[in-house]
Amino acid sequence: MSWFQSSLKLITLMFSLNVVICLPQRPNIVFIVADDLGWNDVGFHGSSQIATPNIDALAYSGIILNNYYVTPVCTPSRSAIMTGKHPIHTGMQHSVLYGAEPRGLPLSEKILPEYLKELGYRTHAVGKWHLGSYKKEYTPIYRGFDSHFGFWTGHQDYNDHTANETGMWGLDFRRNMDIASEYHGRYSTDLFTEEAVRIIDEHSKDRPLFLYLAHAAVHSANPYNALPAPDSLIASLVNVTDYYRRRFAGMLTKLDDSVGQVVEAIRRKGMLHDTIIVFTTDNGGPAAGFNLNAASNWPFRGVKNTLWEGGVRGVGLVWSPLLKNSSRVSDQMMHISDWLPTLLSAAKAKDRIPESIDGIDMWQSLNHGTVSHRTFVLHNIDDIYNVSALTIGDWKLVKGSTYNGQWDGWYGPSGRDEDLHYNVDAVMKSSAGKAVSAFSKALNPTNMLNLRNLAEVKCNFSRETESACLPMVSPCLFNIKLDPCEFNNVASLHANIVTRLQEEIQKLNETAGPSCQ
């Protein structure tokens, strides 16, 4: 090798090292989505019926998002996570995708793993997709993920991994593009947990990790075994007397265990100090037999696929040692579409946030506890169902009702029986609790119970309504800060506010694209 070639090689090496040194240190991101989890299904919102110690540990040592909104059903929420756009701007605003439908999240949309991959992230998806699969180009590994292990449709049996949909029934379990029939008989939540832990264990820390863990739990399965969980676990949950709620509790317990195992794997890998963990539901819970399920949104009104708070006020939290102002309950208004810009900002890529999205960068607001820049939440406009709802500040307008108002009530259980005990020791001794204790002193009984009290929404069920709410007849108006349970329709008292919110809905609807049907 000549002197010139040696010198050139040395200069190239030095330049490469300089480039590596100058690259910003980006945090690992672990994004966990629970399916159909209701507001009242977690312990940190005040219910003592079903123990969720690992989720609660993250909540108490992170930020509890108490004014956080999702969309009413699954596909729209997942599209909002991935694009940072409201579903009316991606054609995903109406209902959910079925496996044989020739539609999906438009390929023209750049999605979260594609942004992160450009920043050097290794990107992995585990679990549910539900954003289209009728062509391979719509599936995860063609949309920015390095790998995917899970299923493409909206639900599956947790043991045989088949999806029973309208007029169709078949196996839906894959590793990347290959059918994975060898996992028959293994419980889905366990499989997804094992895969997530394997990815973390094998991750090379020279690049940041983006792990999107979208569980099937606690969505109901196929009708022949709608709420599957191990029999021994179900039998042990003696505090839950209702048969269906007990089976639901078994599914939720497995989900909570999964969260603990994933957090412990991150700790064991030595990555917890620079990791952001998001935990969110995709929509409100299907309560009282809706979708053959037994979730609880108490004390909120409505269920999944309604625009009442029970359908759109979501369970959410964010945990990270990078957050300066944590171990608190946040009343900052936030929407599920905000995650994309917020995570890009946290990944030191604020300049990559596109101006065309609806989501708002919440990182600095969350980090410092300052006022949210979000002033309104569009819950949805669905011209097929003829329903819409919008919150601006403290005022929420609801127009129309799904299911002809059949699911417009309030559904328990409350989980606040005097005989039930909230076990703070279990939170501290949980896998997640022990893992995060090195970064936070928040997990002490006094602090946890105080945060739990602050996070609990309390409503006076004895109050008389100003006037009946019949949203299929005329719009209903609520002061959602004073009346989060939507008892008191005050539309007749504030006609000017009703007019203003209707005008805003119309303006937003003028920007909507057609629903992809």
pLDDT tens for 264-288 read 999 999 999 999 999 999 999 999 9
CB atoms < 10 A from the CB of 372, how many?
17
pLDDT at 15 over 60: no
pLDDT at 475 over 80: yes
CA distance 253 to 257: 6
CA distance 29 to 336: 16
CA distance 433 to 127: 24
Question: How high is the pLDDT of residue 5?
Answer: 54
Q: What is the mean pLDDT of residues 17-43?
A: 85
CA distance 310 to 306: 8
Tokens of 501: 């919110």
CA distance 26 to 198: 21
Element (H, E) at 233: helix 231-236
CA distance 86 to 71: 9
CA distance 127 to 165: 18
pLDDT at 106 over 50: yes
Helix (H, G, I), strand (E, B) or coil at 405: helix
Question: How high is the pLDDT of residue 95?
Answer: 82
Question: How high is the pLDDT of residue 12?
Answer: 53
Confidence of residue 18 (pLDDT cuts 50, 70, 90): very low
* Bridge partners for 235 per DSSP: none
* Bridge partners for 211 per DSSP: 30, 124
When the pLDDT of each residue in the chain is averaged and rounded to a whole number, the result is: 94
Confidence of residue 23 (pLDDT cuts 50, 70, 90): low
pLDDT at 314 over 90: yes
Question: How high is the pLDDT of residue 465?
Answer: 54
Confidence of residue 22 (pLDDT cuts 50, 70, 90): low
Residue 205, amino acid: K
Confidence of residue 20 (pLDDT cuts 50, 70, 90): very low
Query: Is 0.85 topped by the overall pTM?
Result: yes
Length of the chain: 517
What's the Cα-to-Cα distance from 84 to each of 37, 93, 338, 341, rounded to whole Å? 21, 14, 6, 7
Q: What is the pLDDT of residues 86-97, one digit of tens each?
A: 999 999 998 899
Q: What is the mean pLDDT of residues 496-514?
A: 96
Tokens of 106: 């438009």
Active site residues: 74, 130
Tokens of 116: 């992160």
pLDDT at 19 over 50: no
CA distance 44 to 279: 13
Q: What is the pLDDT of residues 407-461, one digit of tens each?
A: 999 999 999 987 789 999 999 999 999 999 999 889 999 999 999 999 999 997 6
* Bridge partners for 387 per DSSP: 382
The domains of the chain, with CATH numbers, are 25-374+407-455 (3.40.720.10)
Above pLDDT 90, what percent of the chain? 89
Matching residue, tokens 């756009």? 85
Confidence of residue 99 (pLDDT cuts 50, 70, 90): confident
Matching residue, tokens 């300066």? 324
Angle subtended at Cα 388 by Cα 129 and Cα 279, rounded to the nearest 5 degrees: 35
Burial environment of residue 284 by CB neighbours within 10 A (0 to 12, 13 to 18, 19 or more): buried
CA distance 56 to 327: 11
Confidence of residue 21 (pLDDT cuts 50, 70, 90): very low
- Whether the CB-CB separation of 192 and 185 falls below 8 Å is answered with no
- Whether the CB-CB separation of 57 and 277 falls below 8 Å is answered with no
